Structure formats: C-alpha cells, structure tokens
Structure 1
C-alpha cells in the first residue's frame, strides 16, 4: 500500500472529530493486519473505488462507540448500541471518508466511496485479504478507534 494514502484519512479524522465535538487524538504505532483477525463490537466498512481502491474500516469497542455517539448527539447519554447510536457512529465514518475524498481530489486522485456497512455485536472475525495498515487513534474522550486501511 502506498503510504501517501494514510495521511488523507488521518487529516480527515482530525478535522471531523475536532468539528463534531472538539475531540482530539494521538495516533499510535502503525501495524499491519493480514488474514483472519478479531474485531471490536462495532465495525464500519466503507468501500473506496476509482483511482484508489480498497476499504476504509473503523474498529471501535462498545464503550468508545457510545462516547462518540453521545458527543455527536450533543451530550445525550448513550447507554446501548441501538439504532440511533449506531447511526451516529456510522455517520462519523461516512464524514471521515467523504472528507478524505476531498483530500485525495486536492492531490489529483478521484475516489468514490460506498455507504457505510455496519456490523454491531460480539467480537467477530474479519478477513483482511490484503495487508492492511492499522492506525490506532487514542481519543481525548477516552478509548481508541482502530482505523484500518486496506488499500491497493
């Protein structure tokens, strides 16, 4: 994977989280995922097509997803991964991917994104068919988002 593809997603995460609720993050050490891997309770996948192809995946544990949903809903307390809280976290991933497409366009690359595909439930497994760069994002509100980029 071209490492230049990481920055548009990192910059998008930074700006979207800042706009939504003044959330900041510290990126952790990048690592690779490949083959069958365990997931967190919330997995959101967005397909990327055209000049850049693959998947943008957000792996989030339940507690962190609820914190994010609460911030996105103006502080409304979220205690369950119901339709409303799941929709909020799904929209976050959609906003990040949409913002990343703008960054790619500014660099001369055109990308299309698919609607988010959300899986909620006990930890499952996902097959990372291609080597996938994982960037852990330690959030200022507590918790970590694993941003996975399976891009070719």
Structure 2
C-alpha cells in the first residue's frame, strides 16, 4: 500500500513533534501497514484528528517508558492517576504539535481531547493503520499508530 502525501506529511509532523516534546533523542523506524485490529499491550493515548482529513493518532508504550518520560521531564517518577494524566497530556502535546507543523504546509487540522488507554486493549473499527516504531534514546520504544478515516486525494 502506497503512503499518500498527507500521510507522509503526518509522519514528518509526528517525527518533528516527538523531537520537540520529548527531552530525549528519538528516531523513527520504518512505517508498516497494519490490516484489521491492533492490540495495545499496556498503555496508550488516542487523539482524534479533524480537518482536511480525519483519523486518529494513537501513541502506545509500556508504563515504564511513559514513566521515564516523566522522570526526564519533571525529575520524578509518575505512577497511577498521575501517570495516566501525564500520558493524556503527552498525547495532547504530540498531536497538537504535529497539527501545528502540518498547518505550516497548507493543511488544516485540529485535534480532539485525548483518551487514555490503560491495560491490554484491542483497537478495531478501521481497515488499515500505519504503525511507526519510535526508539527513544536510553528509555525504550513506543509506537505511533495513524488511522485515517478520510484523506485528501493525491495532488
């Protein structure tokens, strides 16, 4: 499946946003198309995208990876309700920053409030998703899933 231009812009925007929001070096792996359901192993955040195309950005990782972000950003380990709130805010910051970067390229996008996902979760209701592995230096890996419901035709 070919990645269309808006999807490429979204991937570039996410890479830029991750590098801006997270206080550690990040590197994006090769995107992979996933058909059908996606299984979240431990924790994640889902943020809807509206505007020139609609979809969802889902960021998932282990609790220890999200907690390490908190340690690096705030100097303290986060757990329980504080960790869940932090995960929601991380999703909000990454998705918001992504939309800001993309808007500079002429696409109009906005985000919905984040939904935090805790525990083993099956995400379905879409035909395809694009999964992007992200390695965070010294912390571990997270995955970003992009699900587009509608997208612009190729230009």
**TM beyond 0.5:** yes
Q: How many residues align structurally?
A: 144
Structure 1: 5+ residue stretches without partners: none
SS at match of 1:136: strand
Q: How does 1:39-54 map to 2 (within 5 A)?
A: 39-54=40-55
Structure 2: 5+ residue stretches without partners: none
Aligned to 1:105: 103
Following TM superposition, where does structure 1 have runs of at least 4 consecutive aligned residues deviating by more than 3 angstroms? none
Compute the TM-score of the two structures, normalised by the length of structure 1.
Answer: 0.87
Cα separation, partners in 2 of 1:89 and 1:71, compared to 1, 3 Å = farther
Query: 2:130 aligned with 1:125, yes or no?
Result: no
Cα contact 2:44–2:87 (8 A) shared by 1: no
Query: In 2, Cα distance between the equivalents of 1:135 and 1:26?
Result: 10
Compute the TM-score of the two structures, normalised by the length of structure 2.
Answer: 0.85
Residue number among 131, 137, 142 corresponding to 1:140 in the alignment: 137
Aligned to 2:15: 10
Cα separation, partners in 2 of 1:5 and 1:77, compared to 1, 3 Å = closer
CA RMSD of aligned residues (A): 1.5
Q: How does 1:37-116 map to 2 (within 5 A)?
A: 37-72=38-73, 74-78=74-78, 80=79, 82-116=80-114
Cα separation, partners in 2 of 1:88 and 1:94, compared to 1, 3 Å = same
